[in-house]
Chains A and B, each alone.
Chain A
Amino acid sequence: MKWGLVALIATATAILVAIAWLQSGGLKQHEMVSAVTPEEAVQALMSDIQSHNFEQAYSSLDPSSNTDLSSFTGEMAGSDGSLRTYSSLQNVEVSPLHSDGNQALVRVRMNWSSAMGSVVDVRDLKVRHDGSVWRVVWPKLAATTVPPQVISVNYLRWEVLGRNTSQDWGAQDVDSPKVRITSMNAIARGGHVVILGEVENEDTVPAYLNVNATLLKADGSPIEEEGSFDLISHVLLPKQISPYRIDFPGVRMEAVKSVRMDARSLLVPASADPVIEVSDQAVGKDNLDRNVLQGKLVNLSGRPVNIAQVLATCYDNSGKVIWVSDGYVDQALMPQVPVPFAVDIPDDIAGRLKNYRVIVNHYSHSSS
Chain B
Amino acid sequence: MPTTHNHFAFCKRAAALVLLSLLSGWARAGELHVPAVVGAGQAFLISVGGSGQGTFYLVGPDDVVKRTVSLRNDVQIQASDVRSAGRYRAILCDSSSSCTSATFDVKAAPPAHLSFFLHPSRVPVSYPDSIDATAFVFDRYFNLVLSPSTVDFRITPAGGDGFSRSSTTRYGAAWMRLGSTAHEGPVQVTAVSGNGNSSVNGNVNLEEARVIQQVAAEACHLSMKAVTSGNIVTLETDPVRDCGGNALPDGTVVSFTKIDKEGKSTVDTPIRKGVARTQFSVNGPAQISVACGVMLGNEIVVNGKNI
Residue numbers in B under 8 Å from A174 (CB-CB): 121-122
Partner of A169, one of B115, B210, B219, B249: B115
Interface set of A (CB-CB < 8 Å, partner B): 154, 156, 158, 168-170, 172-175, 178, 182, 200, 202-206, 237-241, 272, 275-282, 295, 300, 356-359
Is there contact, CB below 8 Å, between B211 and A175?
no
Interface residue count for B (Cβ, 8 Å)?
39
Report the Cα distance A279→B118, complex, angstroms: 45
Is there contact, CB below 8 Å, between B262 and A200?
no
Is there contact, CB below 8 Å, between B265 and A281?
yes
Residue B269 CB within 8 A of the other chain:
yes
- Chain B 190-215 near chain A by CB (<8 Å), digits 1 or 0: 00000000000000000010110001
Residue numbers in B under 8 Å from A238 (CB-CB): 248-249, 251-253
Report the Cα distance A202→B268, complex, angstroms: 15
Residue numbers in A under 8 Å from B211 (CB-CB): 172
Report the Cα distance A172→B211, complex, angstroms: 8
Report the Cα distance A359→B262, complex, angstroms: 18
Is there contact, CB below 8 Å, between A156 and B265?
no
Residue B267 CB within 8 A of the other chain:
yes
Q: Which residues of B263-307 have CB atoms within 8 Å of chain A's CB atoms?
A: 263-270, 272, 278, 280, 292-294
Is there contact, CB below 8 Å, between B264 and A282?
yes
What are 20 A-B contacts with C-beta separation under 8 Å?
A: A154-B272, A170-B117, A170-B136, A172-B118, A172-B121, A172-B210, A175-B120, A175-B121, A204-B252, A237-B251, A237-B252, A238-B252, A238-B253, A239-B254, A241-B294, A275-B268, A275-B270, A276-B268, A279-B262, A300-B269
Interface of chain A: mostly helix, strand, loop or mixed: loop
Given contacts A200-B294, A239-B219, A279-B265, list 4 more A-B pairs with CB under 8 A.
Answer: A204-B216, A239-B252, A282-B263, A358-B266
Is there contact, CB below 8 Å, between B1 and A300?
no
Residue B238 CB within 8 A of the other chain:
no
**Which residue in chain A gives the minimum CB-CB distance to B184?**
A204
Residue B116 CB within 8 A of the other chain:
yes
Residue B119 CB within 8 A of the other chain:
yes
Residue B50 CB within 8 A of the other chain:
no
Report the Cα distance A323→B272, complex, angstroms: 33
Is there contact, CB below 8 Å, between A202 and B293?
yes
Is there contact, CB below 8 Å, between A272 and B270?
yes
Report the Cα distance A275→B269, complex, angstroms: 6
Report the Cα distance A140→B264, complex, angstroms: 27
Residue B162 CB within 8 A of the other chain:
no
